[in-house]
C-alpha cells in the first residue's frame, strides 16, 4: 500500500463482503431450504435462517429407504459420483504421466506424431462429437457401465502437457547420473520422477476430481439405468416444477450433498487447487 488510506481499505473490505454475499448466497439459500419442511419451502419467501428440520430431512434423504428417483437412494448416487470422480482423476493422471514420460525421456520414431495426436484432442471435446461417440459406446457395450462413464474421459491433453512441461525442467544430468548408477527407465520413473512430481500430481488431482464430479453431458449420454446415475444427473431428474409431488426439502438435501464434497476438496486442498488451476491452463 502506498497511501495509508483507512477509508479506501474499509471500502475494499465492504466490497469484498458484498461480493462474498453474492457468491455464497445461492449455496447458503439451498442449505437453508434443506433444513425446512416442504410446506415452508412452498410458501415463499424462505426464512433467512436455517430451520429445525436439519436432522429429519437429512436422515430421511440418506436413510429414508425410499428411493427418490426410480428406486435409487442418495447413497448409491454419491457412490457412483465418487467412483466416477476418483476413477477419472486417477486414470487421467496415470495415463498422462506415462505418456509425458515417454515423450520427454525417450527418442523413438513418431514421437512428435504421438505428441500432436494427444494435443489435438483438446480440440475435440465431447460436445462436438456427441452422436458418433454415443454409437461407439453402444457398439462396445459400454452404456450403463462404470467403464463407459470413466474410460473415455481419461485421455487428457492438458495433464499430459503439464507433465511434459514439468519433465522438461528436469536437468539431463539427473537422468545421466541415474543411468550411470545403473537405474533403468522403470527405476528412474519410480524413484526419481514420481517423487519429484508429487506436488504436480496433488494439484492436478484436485482439479480433475472436480472435473469428474461435475460432469454432465457425458453421464447423461451413457447412462439410461437410474442405478448408474451420477448425483448431478439424478438431481436434474428430480426437479420438475410442474409436478406438485416433488419433495423439495429432499431435493434441497440432495443438492447440498451433491455440492458439498467438491467444495470441501477445493477449500481443504486450496493450495493445491490454486496451483493446479493456474498451471494446468497454460
Partner 1 sequence: MSPRVTFPNKVLPYLLLAPQLAITLVFFYWPASQALYQSMLREDPFGLSTKFVWFQNFAKVLRDPNYLNSLNVTLIFAVATAVISMGVALVLAVMADRVVRGRGVYRTLLIWPYAVAPAIAGMLWLFMFNPTMGSFAYILRATGYNWDPLLNGNQAMVLLVSAAAWKQISYNFLFFVAGLQAIPKSLIEAAAIDGAGPTKRFWTIVFPLLAPTTFFLLVINTVYAFFDTFGIVHAVTGGGPGKATETLVYKVYSDGFVNLILGDSAAQSVILMVIVIALTAVQFRYVERRVHYG
Footprint (CB under 8 A) of partner 1, residues 59-88: none
Residue 69's DSSP bridge partners are 72
> For residue 200, what are the contacts with CB-CB under 8 A and spacing of at least 6?
162, 163, 166, 279
CA contacts within 13 A on the Cβ side of 6: 0
Tell me which stretch binds partner 1 (CB under 8 A): 19-27, 50-58, 60-68, 195-203. 19-27
CA-CA distance, 235 to 247, in Å (whole number)?
A: 12
Determine if 281 is a binding residue for partner 1 (CB under 8 A): yes
CA-CA distance, 150 to 17, in Å (whole number)?
A: 39
Determine if 152 is a binding residue for partner 1 (CB under 8 A): yes
Measured from the CB of residue 157, what is the shortest distance to partner 1 in angstroms? 9
CA-CA distance, 229 to 224, in Å (whole number)?
A: 8
Nearer to partner 1, 62 or 142 (CB): 142
151, containing H or E segment = none
Measured from the CB of residue 251, what is the shortest distance to partner 1 in angstroms? 9
Determine if 24 is a binding residue for partner 1 (CB under 8 A): yes
Phi/psi region, residue 21 (left: phi>0; alpha: psi -120 to 50; beta: rest), is alpha
Measured from the CB of residue 29, what is the shortest distance to partner 1 in angstroms? 6
Determine if 121 is a binding residue for partner 1 (CB under 8 A): yes
Which of 79, 112, 135, 194 binds partner 1 (CB under 8 A)? It is: 135
Distance linking the first and last C-alpha atoms of the chain: 30
Restricted to residues 219-238, the positions that interact with partner 1 (CB under 8 A) are: 220-221, 232, 235-236
Determine if 7 is a binding residue for partner 1 (CB under 8 A): no
Restricted to residues 190-219, the positions that interact with partner 1 (CB under 8 A) are: 210, 213-217
Determine if 180 is a binding residue for partner 1 (CB under 8 A): no
Amino acid at each position: 500500500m502506498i497511501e495509508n488510506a483507512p477509508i479506501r481499505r474499509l471500502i475494499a473490505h465492504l466490497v469484498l463482503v458484498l461480493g462474498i454475499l453474492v457468491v455464497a448466497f445461492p449455496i447458503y439459500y439451498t442449505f437453508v431450504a434443506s433444513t425446512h419442511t416442504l410446506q415452508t419451502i412452498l410458501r415463499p419467501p424462505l426464512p433467512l435462517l436455517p430451520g429445525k428440520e436439519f436432522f429429519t430431512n437429512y436422515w430421511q434423504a440418506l436413510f429414508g429407504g425410499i428411493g427418490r428417483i426410480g428406486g435409487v437412494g442418495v447413497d448409491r448416487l454419491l457412490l457412483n459420483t465418487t467412483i466416477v470422480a476418483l476413477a477419472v482423476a486417477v486414470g487421467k493422471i496415470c495415463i498422462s504421466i506415462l505418456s509425458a514420460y515417454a515423450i520427454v525421456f525417450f527418442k523413438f520414431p513418431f514421437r512428435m506424431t504421438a505428441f500432436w495426436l494427444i494435443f489435438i484432442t483438446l480440440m475435440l471435446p465431447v460436445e462436438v462429437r456427441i452422436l458418433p461417440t454415443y454409437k461407439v459406446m453402444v457398439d462396445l457395450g459400454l452404456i450403463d457401465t462404470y467403464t463407459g462413464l470413466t474410460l473415455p474421459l481419461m485421455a487428457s491433453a492438458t495433464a499430459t502437457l503439464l507433465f511434459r512441461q514439468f519433465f522438461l525442467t528436469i536437468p539431463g544430468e539427473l537422468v545421466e547420473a541415474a543411468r550411470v548408477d545403473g537405474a533403468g527407465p522403470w527405476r528412474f520413473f519410480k524413484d526419481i520422477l514420481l517423487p519429484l512430481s508429487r506436488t504436480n500430481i496433488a494439484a492436478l488431482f484436485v482439479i480433475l476430481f472436480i472435473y469428474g464430479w461435475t460432469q454432465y453431458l457425458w453421464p447423461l449420454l451413457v447412462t439410461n439405468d437410474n442405478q448408474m446415475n451420477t448425483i448431478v444427473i439424478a438431481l436434474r431428474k428430480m426437479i420438475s416444477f410442474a409436478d406438485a409431488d416433488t419433495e423439495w426439502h429432499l431435493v434441497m438435501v440432495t443438492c447440498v450433498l451433491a455440492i458439498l464434497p467438491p467444495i470441501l476438496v477445493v477449500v481443504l486442498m486450496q493450495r493445491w487447487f490454486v496451483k493446479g488451476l493456474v498451471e494446468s491452463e497454460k
